[in-house]
Structures are given as structure tokens and as C-alpha cells.
Amino acid sequence: MQFFLASPDYNQTHFNLTKIRVHLSNGVAEIYEQHQDLLGKIINNVVDIETTLENKLEKVKYLVQDGVFVVSSKISILSNIEKSETSVYIYAKRIKELNPKNSVDEIAKEYQIKKDLLDKEELKTEPIGILSNSKIYVLRQEVEFLEKAVSLLKSMKA
């Protein structure tokens, strides 16, 4: 199974995966080889992938913001034998790989910088204009995303 993960500033590809687990707003979808074609929306949630390399199970976790995923079975054109292969494509506004090697302090610092920017922007803006201000909207989304990343990393390390 193939896995393609992309955002405006992040791109990742994995091959020979055994399972992809996508956390959606209305439940969890587990994708295996030969899965039916599927389309869904991921709302600021988690994607887990698993692969077996040299008899060792490896897991990678990603946090995605406003992502969509597509599961597609296709016929391979690279060989004479028709064999179907399952591919999963995820496109998101923002992606953060979550693993124990990530520094919680580094992401917490980034969170604090964005939070301070949001607070300053909200103070500068008239109360009636806060809801329609696109800069505040984007900053709020970034703050929520980073807050969730910090929370997930802390729970992984505990």
C-alpha cells in the first residue's frame, strides 16, 4: 500500500504500508490493502500509519489540520500483470509529524509565539470586527493546531 501526505509546506511518501488509521470527526477509518475507494474529511485530527520492515513493526503518527483523504485502488501500469494496489492520499492545510523525538518545548514555544500574536491582534481589532478578521481566524487555527500537537506529544511521552 502506498501513502502520500502533502500540505503547502510538507510532503511525505511511504510505501509497503500494512495499515493506515485515520481519525475523523465522526469516527475512525482503518485502511488496509485492497480497501474500497473512499473519500473523507479529516478535521484537525490524527493519522497513524504502520509498516513492517525487517520483521519489525514501525508506527508513525501525524497531526493534520483540515485535511481530506482519498483511498484509491488502481491497476498498475508498470507491469504486464494486472495487479491492483491501494493508495492513500492526504492533503491538508498543515501537518506535523508526532514522534517521541519531537521536542515538546520547541512546539510549545511556537505555540506561545502564535498565541501572543493572536492576543495582540485581538487587542488591536474592534470587538465587532474580530469574527470577520481573516488574520485572527488564521492565527486561531494555528494556535488550536499547535495546542493539540503539544497535548498529543505530552501524552505520547507520558
| Predicted pLDDT of residue 75 | 55
69-102: pLDDT as tens digits? 998 887 544 444 456 788 899 999 999 999 878 8
For residue 83, what pLDDT is reported? 61
Of 135, 137, 52, 42, residue with least CA distance to 95: 42
pLDDT average, residue stretch 47-59: 89
Residue 129 predicted with pLDDT over 70: yes
What does pLDDT average to over the chain?
87
Q: Is the pLDDT of residue 47 over 50?
A: yes
Q: What is the DSSP letter of 44?
A: S
